[in-house]
Chains A and B, each alone.
Chain A
């Protein structure tokens, strides 16, 4: 069997898969409700879905609402539900300042670190070879650091559903903003913020809590990257190169 036959068969199979779509008006109504809802208490859990059976929203009304600008606090509330590649954001105040991020072990080589983690590490161009590399005990978190004597840059990488997750305290649209990186989405935490690792049950591991400086979070090939220690312009430049695979 050659490739063409198989791909043709896969397309045929795809064409036969029927997914019944829900009533678009009902979807529109639910979406509007979510957008218009009052701010929820600050938790990382999703709110229960509120459905009004039989609710109808005219397409024109929907278009009008979409055209209106929402006030930042409401937008922030809506966004608080979303983790981003394993980084959960919960609303809260910024910190006043942050120390330099902890450095990684300087004795572990990048090659050894690569062998230990279960995913393809991303080493962004533009930073040179890392000065330190570290892998967590469960081998799910890779940390690379660079220290030129003046400042420390720290890059955490993780992948997969069982990878450790970070929880950051910030307010989307205020201290944290979505940024476009060569067509992909990234999250820039502009201010110092509380950072803590979450265990498998989503509970904070208090021992890991610290204050992080401005950080950029994005993904390359499914691996989530957390870059701390550069300003926004520099961080975005590094991220852009890693996403486009050039530079």
Chain B
């Protein structure tokens, strides 16, 4: 359990569980323990566990979103849960402080499903298959939502004023 605790906590915080992150992780471990017999032998454990963490974190984030002001956007990647350590990534010398803030800000403005897939693929380093398991989506859906997220980030980052336009509340996947 200890091996997975750190990544579970990271997942919970980045999904927006905020102050409830510890609670979320504990609840998730208890649930995982209780459901051990429904876990298929041979299937990878980490995505199975993180999926439980993700669901619990989503519930917690929703509960806290309801408490927030209506003007604030979703809780994903709420900066109050983590700090930025520029020295952690050797390649980050190419990423300026301003650019980091700009990127993070843009990600936080994405619609929730797109935020989640960006979170899984780039902030939690899950591969496509793991991402599909953790989010509970089909692989095609992971691909298309990630693609859409990148397109949207591209257009925003090329044209910063476009970020303030309201985004559709729900996107239709034509698959």
Contacts and interface: CB of A to CB of B under 8 A. Distances in A.
Interface string B157-175: 1100000000001101100
Contacts of A13: 95, 100, 103-104, 107, 122-123
Contact of B173 (A15, A27, A59, A120): A120
A16 B89 contact: yes
A120 B172 contact: yes
Interface string B132-158: 010111101100000000100110011
Given A31-B29, A245-B138, A118 B169 contact: yes
Contact of A6 (B65, B66, B153): B153
Contacts of A178: 35, 38
A116 to B, nearest CB: 12
* Contact residues of B: prevailing secondary structure: helix
Interface residues of B, number: 73
Given A19-B9, A178-B38, A243 B84 contact: no
Interface string B105-123: 0010000010000100111
A27 B39 CA distance: 22
B67 interface: no
A156 to B, nearest CB: 18
A24 B5 contact: yes
Contacts of A82: 27, 31, 56
Nearest to B99: A9
A235 interface: no
Contacts of B138: 220-221, 243-245
A34 B38 contact: no
Contact of A34 (B26, B55, B136): B26
A41 interface: no
Contacts of A20: 82-83
B30 interface: yes
Nearest to A2: B154
Interface string A78-120: 1101111100000000000000000000000000000000111
Interface of B: 1-2, 5-6, 9-10, 13-14, 22-23, 25-27, 29-31, 33-35, 38-40, 43, 48, 51-52, 55-56, 59, 62, 65-66, 77, 81-86, 88-89, 91-92, 94-95, 99-100, 103-104, 107, 113, 118, 121-125, 133, 135-138, 140-141, 150, 153-154, 157-158, 169-170, 172-173
